[in-house]
Amino acid sequence: MMTEIQRKTIRALIIIIVSFLFIKLIMSFKKDNTINELEKHNRLINSKVVKLESNRISVPVYGKLVSKEEVNIVVEANGVFHGNDFKTGYKFIKGDTLGYIKYDEIESNLNSMKSSLLNQTSKVVSEIKFDYPESFNTWYDFMNKISFDKQIPKIPETENKKLKNFLSGKNFFTAYFNAKAAEDRLKKYLIIAEFNGVLSEVTIKSGTAVSLGQKIGKLHNPNILEFEATTSIKNTLLIEKNMKTIIKSEELNGERMGYVSRINKTLNPSSQNMSVFIETNDNDLFHGMYVFGEVIIGKVDKTYLIKRNLLEENSVFIIVDNKLVSKKIEVIQIFEENAIIKGLNETDRILNEPIKGSYHGMEVRINN
């Protein structure tokens, strides 16, 4: 039999347990009510009324400037190189002699061949005067142009087969081409500037022995520069030859101008990009300088500039009757932090801030 004390203890425990459960029940009701209140409390958002305008489309580019005209200087003969001005920084005009390999023997052989050619030409001209008088003046002028100080002139053209046979029978062509071959051999001993330029690299000094095929320097034209820029497939398809390009450098203030000189639409398998080449002749830019800029594509009307983090693939959120509505748009271009899009109307109110977990039909309140 339970004592009075035990019964009181049990009743007290029952009261405590019931009270605890009652309090938990009340708290759960309050929590549910709080959650319901929160769910009914719509998200406050920032929005903006769309204003369509003309936006400039451009493609960002960057790269390292190099001379468009640049050539390695490689010797084509064995011997001793001479060239007192063959030093880095020296400027040359197209046709100037950069240096030479001693060619006394080759020059003597050429002069001997020229002498034989002149003698042979003199003989045939004297006979042409009587047998082919209509061609006499042409061949007489040719003979007078043969000089030990000048290049061998080009053979006069003739359609007269009898005259050709006559010249061949007199061994004129043999004498001519022997002399031309000797002249071509001499050219291999002379190193001539192919274009206006500056020696940017020199590996030898005057008086050094060189061998056939040896690289001895590099000539480049500092006035015509270009750089290669990699661009995405979509951006490359926007670019056309001769499009103007703004060029900038961290080393210089302001902007310089260039243009698209060529486009390589071959896809790089690793980067999946293509290449465009930008050419410039600005005097403030130099070979080896890193530059950046943008190819100016043009303007597109009725477009809207938006932050790229507001894009949901090919759609954006607009607000209709205090709800988020997903609207399909056309992405014209994405660059840095922004994007240019098309497909919105002037009356549209667009969501102007990224919201995590946003969805079509989400109820919102507009922050005025």
Contact 323, 91 (CB under 8 A): no
- Lowest mean pLDDT, pick from 24-28, 261-265, 359-363: 24-28
Say whether both 156 and 179 belong to one domain. yes
Is the pLDDT confidence value at 203 over 90?
yes
Identify whether 22 is part of a domain.
no
Clarify whether residues 329 and 354 are in a common domain: yes
Query: Are residues 98 and 194 located together in one domain of the fold?
Result: yes
Q: Is 140 among the domain residues?
A: yes
**Residue range 226-276, pLDDT digits in tens:** 999 999 998 899 899 999 999 999 999 999 999 999 999 999 999 899 999
Are 169 and 130 found together in one domain? Answer: yes
**How many domains are contained in the chain?**
4
Are residue 203 and residue 258 in the same domain, yes or no?
no
Residue 149 has a pLDDT of: 84
Taking CA atoms, 263 is separated from 44, 80, 272, 285, 289, in Å, by 49, 44, 15, 22, 21
| One-letter amino acid of 127 | E
**Which residues make beta-bridge pairs with 152?**
none
Please give the Cα distance from 196 to 102 (Å, whole number).
Answer: 24
Encoding tokens for residue 308?
């790229």
Identify whether 30 is part of a domain. Answer: no
180/230 same-domain check: no
* Residue 81 sits in the same domain as residue 216: yes
CATH number of the structural domain spanning residue 93: 2.40.50.100
Same domain, 215 and 227: no
CATH number of the CATH domain containing 309: 2.40.420.20
289 falls within a domain: yes
Q: How confident is the model at residue 36 (pLDDT cuts 50, 70, 90)?
A: very low
Confidence at residue 28, expressed as pLDDT on a 0 to 100 scale:
60
Within a domain: 288: yes
283: domain range?
60-68+221-297
16 inside domain? no
In this structure, the answer to whether residues 97 and 193 fall within a common structural domain is yes
Give a yes or no: residue 35 inside a domain: no
**Cα four-point dihedral sign 247, 250, 252, 254:** positive
Token output for 244: 């103007």
Residue 39 confidence class, pLDDT cut points 50, 70, 90: very low
Greater model confidence, 198 or 162: 198
Q: Return the CATH number at 241.
A: 2.40.30.170
Residue 116 lies inside a defined structural domain of this protein: yes
350 and 241 part of one domain: no
Whether residues 95 and 195 fall in one domain: yes
| Residue 320: pLDDT over 90 | yes
* Same structural domain, 228 and 282: yes
Is the predicted pLDDT of residue 98 greater than 80, yes or no? yes
